[in-house]
Structure 1
């Protein structure tokens, strides 16, 4: 009898296991029939599409995949599913028509490390805190940029950098001066620091920024292996922790010094503007707002403005000058326009922008052709939603392939040609912004600093061309070649120039 009971027990266990298996299989098949997932290449379980996501030119590879699978492509980054949008129609559907659905941010271990747990603006989750932070940062930027402050600051930094650059007698890499100019401009804007090309603080931060991009540009295994940092930290991860701690320590020190010398009637820089915002919240006795403006939050907002502005601005200017060297006829046309609009003695100002149409068109074309941030910042869905006829579950990472938009041959005529006239009317004025031109993204997470960025890019670019004529060394032909210092980032190959001081 005992043996019979044992056999019956085994049969019962087998029945339960069989029933469970059939139930899970039925649920899986039902899910497949119910949900229409975006197509994509086959991936290795847990490892994912390694050859794709480890490729620093992944944006080009995914754009090619979209020709086979359509504009909505799904790939696996380790165990993480990522949806990549590759044409304007699906980008507008997701980011504009369903903007709240796609307004979240995915959570990454490295992102949390950079932002002290998502306390910045760029990588923060879509919630009431983020909305308040964005409002405060936008107001602080507008307050600080009132009057002629921006153009005066840029003019002072340009004078400092151009004085050193004009002394170059041999061919040199102009990128070095672009980087110095942009980081000193941001030091002035954020911290009120005047230009000092030999400053240890400035040069150290620039080196840290370049190290983070070039040494860690291929990503981290810690982001795709859950819990890995609790078991084992790679050397790369430890190096990243050290560099981020150095940056955060510097920003905390700047904030502390600004608080000690703060005067609400004399706003010196962007840091002061943030302190003023907190003071106003305190005066209104709104404790929940004050809590969202703690020192940690202010440091992370400063980090966003400083480092996002540093990378995108200097990289865009690298592309702009590279194209000006490659197309001397366009360089000359810009200089003629600058001379006519600005004159011989004055520095460029924001009021000149409506009349610097050809120069701005050249900047826009450089932004189209140069993939500074091919995927922008990743989005995440905050609810179950759809795009392009496919079902996208809540919490899915979604990327915009800006490179694919900017290189779509169905939208751009002669897509591989540098052509600033794309953005101009027949009369030479700025035309409506092309729908497919989206370097600052779109929707709820559109770049906060776009208005300031576009103005400062024009002021700096026109200052370069107002003061110098850029040429390649005698006997050298400048052909634009791309290099990829980080995943989703392309820059022109380093090249040397000679400059002639223009007689202004």
Structure 2
């Protein structure tokens, strides 16, 4: 009997010893870092710092960077991310070291959605360089066809103003109308024609697709606390085997894009290049680069629609909310518009140089409400030495743009909306390198020129025609300090009145 007790006891002890060794090994493996790796919080095994992330990840990162420095590592799930937390560090890596810091993470969700095509999430390399160069050339001044980007935006603003006017001074949410107008600019450039706001295909692309497709394609870290898809997205980031759950929520914009491409191919005329799709087909026919495939075109168009609609729409919604919250700034903006343009003339980009307060208003808007607080994730393409640290190839990286825009060492009272901070003592506009809403370096936003043009013309035209006032049925104004937390920081739904002036 005592022999049996000894065997059982020894067996139990061996299990405990084995489990203890395994636990120690797991802890050692978990807390081990590459040699000379930037410091930072590790969190708990398997999850890392995920349980400690609040609603606004960018704020958590800034808090941790005060302890670990402007270049720190953060364990998220099973991956170490490098987080850049100030302008100097971001510039050193993305601009000076652009070739090494311009990759894209090889996350399973990105691969499944994009099939390694398009331009936004394609890894840095020859394929991306060719497609990026084509996009810049084609979109710069529109580059194809007989009409430039500005002509198309000016045409659309008339439709948008009429849609705003149709509310007859009653409270309404401007979000859908704004998305319609912005998305129609993309439609005009991509397929050569605008679409009616009530067109079902157009609604699929401008309203449903961005909110869902963008989330699936590009959401990688944030938590949409008010959105089921966003909660699933957070799980998928750290547990990729759950990624198929996301695709249950997808809209179907791809079918519409495939039809457009087919129609363009059947009516293509090399002597009459109508739009972006025609320009791409022209490259296909040259057969000089194998990357110009139908799949590449479909994903490219989807990238343009999704990225081009949600970002500009979100910025313009913040603009309207700031106008409502700051009537004195709205009046000052309108006075400058009337002085330079008048009440009836259509705004033009050539007017911008004479409108310092409008430029200051826009730059403060970009700073005050950073639309993509952590930008789009990067991947380091080769082993690098930076600021004394060694970072191995393949490491994932983000830039805390929100922290740059809210750095108290650069900005006086950064939490306040103050366009005047961007004017000198003579009232001239001062461009700031510390405002970088479109990121910097080789991977800065492809559509930056288009977005800046849209925001200027839409904002000036709307303020020229309407006074934006709070909804009298709402006792409290929609919050301007906090937005919906996600890949982008957008306003909570709100209504306002647009009174003709």
Normalised by the size of structure 2, how large is the TM-score? 0.85
Cα deviations across residues 373-406 of structure 1 (Å, max 9, x unaligned)?
1111101111111333322111000100111111
Which has the higher mean CA deviation after the structures are superposed, 249-258 or 481-490? 481-490
Which residue is equivalent to 2:437?
439
- Does 1:133 find its partner at 2:139? no
Deviates more, 1:210-219 or 1:448-457: 210-219
1:200-211 to 2 correspondences below 5 Å: 200-205=200-205, 206-211=207-212
The answer (yes or no) to whether the contact 2:204–2:253 under 8 Å persists in 1 is no
Match of 1:254 among 242, 253, 260: 260
Corresponding residue for residue 470 of structure 1: 468
C-alpha displacement of 1:103: 1.2
Q: Distance in 1 between matches of 2:482 and 2:328?
A: 25
CA distance change for structure 1 residues 267 and 340 in 2, over 3 Å: closer, same or farther? farther
- Structure 1 CA distance for aligned equivalents of residues 369 and 337 of structure 2: 23
The Cα RMSD (Å) is: 2.6
CA-CA distance at 1:58 after TM superposition: 0.6
CA distance in 2, matches of 1:425, 1:399: 33
Matched, 1:189 2:189: yes
Q: Distance in 1 between matches of 2:95 and 2:210?
A: 32
Q: For residues 222 and 490 of structure 1, do their structure 2 counterparts lie closer, same or farther at Cα, with a shift above 3 Å needed?
A: closer
Distance in 1 (alpha carbons) for counterparts of 2:44 and 2:33: 23
Q: Aligned residue for 2:229? A: 216
> CA 1:271–1:483 in 2, change beyond 3 Å: closer, same or farther?
farther
- Is 1:171 the counterpart of 2:171 in the alignment? yes
In structure 2, the residue matched to 1:420 is 419
Partner of 1:49: 49
For residue 453 of structure 1, what is the aligned residue in structure 2?
451
- Could you tell me how far 1:292 is from its partner in structure 2? 0.8
Q: How many residues align?
A: 459
Corresponding residue of 2:68? 69
Are 2:124 and 1:120 equivalent residues in the alignment? no
Report if the CA contact (8 A) 2:38-2:72 is conserved. Answer: yes
Cα separation, 1, equivalents of 2:34 and 2:203:
56
Within 5 Å, give how 1:341-490 maps onto structure 2: 341-431=340-430, 433-474=431-472, 476=475, 478=477, 480-482=479-481, 484-490=483-489
Within 2, Cα distance between the matches of 1:479 and 1:247?
32
Query: 1:34 and 1:141, CA in 2 relative to 1: closer, same or farther beyond 3 A?
Result: closer
Q: Which runs of 5+ in 2 are unaligned?
A: 1-20, 216-226
2:285 matched to 1:266? no
How many angstroms apart in 2 are the aligned matches of 1:367 and 1:104? 25
Q: Aligned pair in 2 of structure 1 residues 165, 296: CA closer, same or farther (>3 Å)? A: same
Q: 3-state DSSP class of the match of 2:94? A: helix
| Residues 66 and 257 (structure 1), Cα distance of their counterparts in 2 relative to 1, 3 Å cut | same
What is the CA-CA distance between 1:67 and the residue it aligns to? 1.4
The answer to which of 438-447 and 416-425 deviates more is 416-425
Distance verdict in 2 for CA 1:486–1:81, change over 3 Å: same
How far apart are the structure 2 equivalents of 1:32 and 1:247?
44
How far residue 326 of structure 1 moved from its aligned partner, in angstroms, is 0.9
Q: Contact 1:385 / 1:391 at 8 angstroms: preserved in 2?
A: yes
Unaligned runs of at least 5 residues, structure 1: 1-20
Conserved? CA contact 1:143–1:273, under 8 Å: no
- Deviation, structure 1 residue 448: 1.7
Is the Cα–Cα contact under 8 Å of residues 383 and 395 in structure 1 kept in the other structure?
Answer: yes
Q: Within 1, Cα distance between the matches of 2:314 and 2:409? A: 27
Determine if contact 1:58/1:487 at 8 Å carries over to the other structure: no
Equivalent pair of 1:339/1:466 in contact (CA under 8 Å) = yes
Is 105-114 or 488-497 further displaced after alignment? 488-497
Q: Paired residue for 1:296?
A: 295
Return the alpha-carbon distance in structure 1 between the equivalents of residues 147 and 427 of structure 2: 27
Cα contact 1:50–1:78 (8 A) shared by 2 = yes
Distance 2:174 2:111 in 1: 35
1:90 Cα deviation from its structure 2 partner: 1.2
What is the rounded CA distance, in whole Å, between the counterparts of 1:34 and 1:177 in structure 2? Answer: 50
Shift of 1:34: 8.0
Once the two structures are overlaid, the 10-residue window that deviates more, 413-422 or 152-161, is 152-161
The CA distance in 1 between the partners of 2:327 and 2:191, in whole Å, is 37
> Which secondary structure does the structure 2 equivalent of 1:490 belong to?
coil
1:52–1:183: structure 2 CA closer, same or farther, 3 Å change rule?
farther
Q: Distance in 1 between matches of 2:55 and 2:179?
A: 22
Deviation per residue, 1:206-264 (Å, 9 max, x gap): 123223445433425344335x26xxx65x33414x43xx2222212111111211223
Farther off after superposition, 419-428 or 134-143: 419-428
Paired with 1:157 and 1:137, the residues of 2 have a C-alpha distance of 22
Partner of 1:6: none
Query: How far does residue 492 in structure 1 lie from its aligned partner after superposition?
Result: 2.3
Contact 1:482 1:490 in 2 (8 A): no
2:15 aligns with none
- Per-residue CA deviation, residues 317-347 of structure 1 (Å, 9 max, x unaligned), is 1111111111111111111222222233321
CA distance in 1, matches of 2:152, 2:269: 20
**What displacement does 1:32 show?**
7.2
Give the TM-score, by structure 1 length. 0.85
1:225 aligned to 2:225?
A: no
Q: Secondary structure at the match of 1:500?
A: strand
